[in-house]
Structure 1
Amino acid sequence: MAAPVKKEIKDEILDRIRNQGLSVVDASEQYKVHYKTIYGWLKTGIGDANTLELNRLRKENVQLYRIIGEITAELKTQKSSTTATPH
């Protein structure tokens, strides 16, 4: 049986997951705490079911902004090349 995790470490892990978007798997690897333990902490907290969904949505937003940026850059490049060539 593993030693109990100190409250300070537990609070730090949960804070990074909730507020910084750290994934449970990454937190598990970084802090050497089993991912099921972390999920248990999240499940027992008030509103923590929403925390996982919020983190998932934040990551999805980052991906979508990246895609929008790539498409915008591509469109600007295409527009520049079509306006540069005389008809």
Structure 2
Amino acid sequence: MTRDPTPAQNTPPAEETGGPLTLQVEPCPEDAGRYRWTLRAGLHPVRTAPYALPDAEAAWVQGRAALAEAAALQRDTTPAAPH
């Protein structure tokens, strides 16, 4: 099965939310043509890609993994409500 390379399919969303965190993928200000992801809690950056990635899709994939990891850490460290 092949994927139709239309711009709509190749352009990842600019942001996604996972609970209280938001994932943003933006062009890298220091390295034109490359991208970084940032996890934010509200307006505050919580975690950012340590290096620029070759394209927005790569940044999106890596950022989603970081978002899932952060959500799991938050879930695993939040005390359970008493029964």
Structure-1-length-normalised TM-score: 0.33
Q: Which has the higher strand share?
A: 2
Q: Give the structure with the larger helix fraction.
A: 1
Relative contact order: is structure 1 or structure 2 higher (C-alpha 8 Å, sep ≥ 6)? 2
| Bigger Rg over Cα | 1
